[in-house]
Structure 1
Amino acid sequence: MIVNALALYARYVAASLRAQAQYPASTLMLTAGHCAATAIEILAVYALFARFGPVGGWSFGEAALFYALVNIMFSVADLLTRGFEVFGTEFVRTGAFDRLLLRPRAAALQLAGHEVRLSRLGRLLQGSLVLILSTRLVPIAWDVSTIVTAIWAVAGGVALFAGILVLQATLAFWTVESLEVANVISYGGVQAAQYPLNIYAAWFRRLLTFAVPLACVAYYPVLAVLKRPDPLGAPDWLLPLTPAAGFIFLALAFLAWRAGMARYASSGS
């Protein structure tokens, strides 16, 4: 069953890529534009550290590592879950979701494969370049455990951001259109997770750890990669385990999705 679902998803991806390949110049320009637009963000981070020096005991190189991993996580999640992002406007409001429900495949799988936008590779490329830069600025021992921790963190982060986009889509069952306020959690979460947790107020740290566990996929794993003790007192053994929170969040998001689908009464058209 899982193998069949993955095979179908691969066919969705292939069809989406073939469609974009019909206009290669447009795709390349959109990708380059997305890369350039997101590059402004790392310039803003650099300007902050250049003006004030170390922030909360963290250097620019260390902050760049946070930035790189978070943007890699989000770009992969955004690349693979486009259907959930446009669910309210393109499926619920227009009634197109009814067509998905008539097909003998899970609606979530069809939405995940709705469109794989190559332009989102711009953020992924930019995040990867910043990752290379951060390793030049900060001495990181890339041994097996460190590499595994980084990959595990990215996987947990992709699951977390995918869960956020699923929740954003789930709101459309009640609101017809996905509310823009949901972007505060997705895009705002990217901005918040780009900086070390200890620079924030206590209530915001709790929000980023227990409500939307961005700290679990970014802050704590980066500490493990840097082999640096947590200024907030988290035990060292816990740091590499925290990305599991991303998968738990995704599972809870799909429970909410199922509750929303049970409520859905069709467009009537």
Structure 2
Amino acid sequence: MRRMGSLALFARLMTASLSGQARYPGSALMLTVGQFLGTSIEVIAIWALFHRFGNVQGWKIGEVALFYGLVNCMFAIADALGRGFDVLGTTLLRTGEFDRLLLRPRPLALQLMGHDVRISRLGRLLQGLLVLAFATGQADIAWAPASIAIALFALAGGVALFLGILVLQGTLSFWTIESLEVANMLTYGGVEAAQYPMALYARWFRYVLTFAVPLACVAYYPVLAILGKADPLGAPDWMGLVSPLAGFAFLAAAFCAWRAGVRHYASTGS
């Protein structure tokens, strides 16, 4: 019953957030279009790269487009759900509004996830879906039930991973606000890095993206499984079937750090 009550609360918070934005449809539409057009510049850059040089170390534009589309869908959903953690230090802690959330008898993380669900993230999500459609045609991807299941599993793991990064960013706010820009290296920088095959990067960077922030586990290995392509780095074929679990493990570790941060928190007193 408590779980159902928490889920109902999350649904109500999310509905209230979306309803508030819907009161200004022009603004919501412009922000959504802005997200779509802003991320489209990245698509044009990738197209220009492959148009100029052709294949890049054996990777075709359709295959890289699959990386791009899947990763941007992951981040769009996580960014919509994790907005509360993103603004925790700059808004909620400074104004003392966080104290009000602490008084409510519901999970704190769930309240933050429903705090500010942004309609504008639909722009990035739509763009990611369009790129996935482009990748399907360019790479001749046969979306069999097995490949669809892998893609959905990778999507869920990727959402968990990016949400975990946002949770860590919010956790950092309990100690300092000025260093939050460092966390953007993991969010937006992570999105940029995961949009390309890991085989293109230096060995030390591949280790970081596999074992520290497991972006390769939610994007690179599942995409190889969807494409039916052997890993040039030598990973086994079954890797993409289980690697998205790393995203859920990362989220669990992030929430452990979150609980430590909440215990460290001292009220503003105002």
Above 0.5 in TM-score? yes
* 1:196 Cα deviation from its structure 2 partner: 0.2
Deviations 1:90-127 (A, max 9, x none): 11122221111111112111111101110110000000
* 1:178 Cα deviation from its structure 2 partner: 5.8
Give the structure 1 partner of residue 172 of structure 2.
Answer: 171
Equivalences for residues 1-269 of structure 1 within 5 A: 1-176=2-177, 179-269=180-270
CA RMSD of aligned residues (A): 1.0
Deviations 1:116-146 (A, max 9, x none): 1101100000000000001010111211100
* 1:24 Cα deviation from its structure 2 partner: 1.0
8 A contact 1:31–1:121 mirrored in 2: yes
Structure 1 CA distance for aligned equivalents of residues 239 and 195 of structure 2: 21
* 1:158 Cα deviation from its structure 2 partner: 0.2
Structure 1 CA distance for aligned equivalents of residues 245 and 136 of structure 2: 25
Structure 2 CA distance for aligned equivalents of residues 207 and 56 of structure 1: 21
* Larger CA deviation: 92-101 vs 123-132: 92-101
8 A contact 1:88–1:178 mirrored in 2: no
* 1:20 Cα deviation from its structure 2 partner: 1.2
Structure 2 CA distance for aligned equivalents of residues 31 and 62 of structure 1: 27
8 A contact 1:75–1:120 mirrored in 2: yes
Structure 1 CA distance for aligned equivalents of residues 242 and 145 of structure 2: 16
* 1:29 Cα deviation from its structure 2 partner: 1.4
Letter in 1 for 2:171: T
Identity of aligned residues (%): 65
Structure 1: 4+ residue segments shifted above 2 A = none
8 A contact 1:54–1:60 mirrored in 2: yes
Structure 1 CA distance for aligned equivalents of residues 73 and 84 of structure 2: 19
Structure 2 CA distance for aligned equivalents of residues 176 and 43 of structure 1: 35
TM-score, normalised on structure 2?
0.98
* Larger CA deviation: 47-56 vs 66-75: 47-56
* 1:177 Cα deviation from its structure 2 partner: 5.1
* 1:56 Cα deviation from its structure 2 partner: 2.1
* Larger CA deviation: 4-13 vs 242-251: 4-13
Letter in 1 for 2:254: A
SS at match of 2:59: coil
* Larger CA deviation: 248-257 vs 238-247: 238-247
TM-score, normalised on structure 1?
0.98
8 A contact 1:72–1:154 mirrored in 2: yes
Q: In 2 relative to 1, CA 178–76 (structure 1 residues): closer, same or farther, beyond 3 Å?
A: farther
**Structure 1: gaps (5+ residues):** none
Structure 2 CA distance for aligned equivalents of residues 238 and 188 of structure 1: 24
Deviations 1:9-29 (A, max 9, x none): 000111111111111121111
Structure 1 CA distance for aligned equivalents of residues 193 and 94 of structure 2: 31
**Structure 2: gaps (5+ residues):** none
Structure 2 CA distance for aligned equivalents of residues 43 and 242 of structure 1: 30
